[in-house]
Structure 1
């Protein structure tokens, strides 16, 4: 896959967890079809069943992940080679994985990268990071893309947002690595997504603001309730 097709474009995350109203591979496949029709360049999707259903609907590149929890570890995004093998079966173009420094359930990050490169040399790898140091480490390990995905979601970055201080964190990441940077996480408006590209992100991933109607609705309700109080 040529990464150039993602440059300055929008990737949409089509995911719904088991406790969410839209949790359904059929619904996620139609969601992917809708955003593809609107101009999305690629899809980020979770689980084999969702990815395979999406592939039946559209031909866009897919960033595949499998969320699975293991006892004793907070890492849950494609945490082991087991998930790598399952994503490879789905023929995804890109595999994304947690690239934070947190304790892993089994293999080390470098072992997983080495395994994937050997077994599936045509698959690109995306690192989901939360700090500059993690991004730099991901670059050393040879990831093809580095995402800000986990910034604000690890214990040591909790509450932070890549849009804070006029995207100062994103600016720092972009200048700390040479690998293309994917701006992902809490980009809630088109203006924020565009600004992330202006700051230097290679591409942007937007999820909840497009594909989670329960969160979108809650945002409207909160605003209206604050006005009427």
Structure 2
């Protein structure tokens, strides 16, 4: 369900409406992980029509910010011992991403336990009040999405569908979750995860998503080459 035009962050969200957001990321052991390379990939994506990009780490966000003017959905993947939450898990990570130039802060908004005693609600409140940035809640279930919206999330994404213990038996894209979100929550909804063709991206929008994120199918050279090589070797 589309976000209301009266929402505080509507000026940032409106350009994303019905658009393609490209996730420009690479494994840490890949030559593509170099910030200038990620920035070039992001710029190429924007040149060909991406309305926004999704970028990991402060260094990459800073490099991309110097090359594009479209909104950047920023995140910082940090593994913290004893916790499964890793997408911008704490406020210090959100602050670093915002300082680097992100327009929107993506966080793990699943119902899993979090480090530092923070909750999804307190993290969203801090991002809103101290950073003045909208929050994209990456969720895996309807319950997590409802809780995130109640906590003040501006965007809800199906990002973690199929990637948590609660949803490991499910395979992205989460079109069934998308259908539930469209029917039951009031927020800007993004379909992300497992979109592997232009036709699937169109299907996500037809199902009611406000925007769609595509990553591996466009920018995942390392994984795609591995998959082709494995198939050929058979």
TM-score by length of 1: 0.92
Per the alignment, do residues 219 and 159 of structure 1 end up closer, same or farther by CA in structure 2, a change over 3 Å counting? Answer: farther
Among candidates 163, 171, 180, match of residue 172 of structure 1: 180
Q: 1:99 aligns with which of 109, 116, 126?
A: 109
Q: Do structure 1's residue 110 and structure 2's residue 121 form an aligned pair?
A: yes
| Unaligned 5+ runs, structure 1 | none
Unaligned runs of 5+ in 2: 1-10
Measure, in 2, the Cα distance between the counterparts of 1:169 and 1:112: 24
User: What's the secondary structure of 1:63's corresponding residue?
Assistant: strand
SS in 2 for 1:57: coil
**Distance between the aligned counterparts of 1:191 and 1:225, measured in 2?**
28
How big is the shift at 1:223?
Answer: 4.7
Partner of 2:53: 43
Displacement, 1:87? 1.5
**1:192-207 mapped onto 2 (5 Å cutoff):** 192-207=200-215
Deviation at 1:148, TM superposition (A): 0.3
| TM alignment of 1:132-211, pairs within 5 A | 132-163=142-173, 167-211=175-219
Secondary structure of 2:44's aligned partner: helix
Q: Relative contact order, CA 8 A, sep 6+: which one is greater?
A: 2
Aligned Cα root-mean-square deviation (Å): 1.5
The 3-state SS of whatever aligns with 1:103 is coil
- What TM-score does the superposition give when structure 2 sets the normalisation length? 0.90
Q: Which runs of 4+ in 1 moved over 6 A?
A: none
1:79 alignment partner, SS class: coil
Post-superposition Cα deviations, 1:59-103, rounded to whole Å, max 9, x if no partner, equal 111000011111111111000011121112123110000000111
For 1:87 and 1:20, how far apart are their aligned partners in 2? 22
Aligned residues: 223
Rounded Cα–Cα distance in structure 1 between residues aligned with 2:88 and 2:67: 24
